[in-house]
Chains A and B, each alone.
Chain A
């Protein structure tokens, strides 16, 4: 799986949009971009994934650049409960059976 680079930490004010960047310059054509988050003392939680088109669900939006070398996870209206470590992971299409490789992620802190 391709390697990802994320900032170690970010702050965001409550109610604002949180934009979390991820670089994956070596991504292959058949690799998806996945985002998970881990709230303190809990197991990781799936957020969203995409291949090349922008994606949106009830939790977040995922913006992938045209060259697919980077992406941004957007939490439109951050709340205190969004404070967590966010992991950006790239993996092969149909890799539901293969384990996820977690990096260090971004520790997002939502400030009241």
Chain B
């Protein structure tokens, strides 16, 4: 398996624009997580899904952030409108709820909002 795949790897956008980050989890995994990492706040859990259903989105900073998982092999994290303080590295991770207790992370998307 190629691991968790995130796209794009880098994104530069202007303030106010919509940004969509994409994630393909490892095949067979049924839990998916979105994290954000900044120097100030470290790694923060934004939201996680079990079997494509959002379970806990308490980490989503505000209504400008939304996440979807339309099927087991794809998830998106959308920011609309984007702001400079959203600049961060966004990681997606997946795991198997029953078989595995470890999470596998993607390489991340570095977002810069100017």
A residues touching B (Cβ–Cβ < 8 Å)?
A: 32, 34, 42-46, 49, 94-104
B55 within 8 A of A: yes
Known: A97-B55, A103-B42. A43 touches B108 (CB 8 A): yes
Whether A46 contacts B104 by the Cβ 8 Å rule is yes
User: Which listed residue, B48, B55, B91, B100, touches A44 by the CB 8 Å rule?
Assistant: B91
Whether B97 contacts A97 by the Cβ 8 Å rule is yes
Whether A96 contacts B105 by the Cβ 8 Å rule is no
Sorted from nearest, which 3 A-B pairs have the closest CB atoms? Answer: A43-B105, A99-B45, A102-B43
Instruction: State the main secondary structure of chain A at its contact with B.
Output: loop
Cα distance, A96 to B31, chains bound together (Å): 8
Min CB–CB distance A72 → chain B (angstroms): 20
Cα distance, A16 to B60, chains bound together (Å): 42
Contact with A along B78-110 (1 / 0, CB 8 A): 000000000000010101111111111111100
Chain B residues, CB < 8 A from A94: 101
Min CB–CB distance B89 → chain A (angstroms): 9
Whether B97 contacts A96 by the Cβ 8 Å rule is yes
Contact with A along B15-59 (1 / 0, CB 8 A): 000000000000000110101000000111100101000011001
> Considering residues B4, B100, B103, which has the most beta carbons from chain A within 10 angstroms of its beta carbon?
B103
Cα distance, A96 to B50, chains bound together (Å): 10
Whether A100 contacts B45 by the Cβ 8 Å rule is yes
Cα distance, A99 to B46, chains bound together (Å): 9
Chain B residues, CB < 8 A from A34: 101-102
Known: A42-B107, A43-B105, A46-B103. A96 touches B96 (CB 8 A): yes
Known: A43-B108, A96-B96. A102 touches B101 (CB 8 A): no
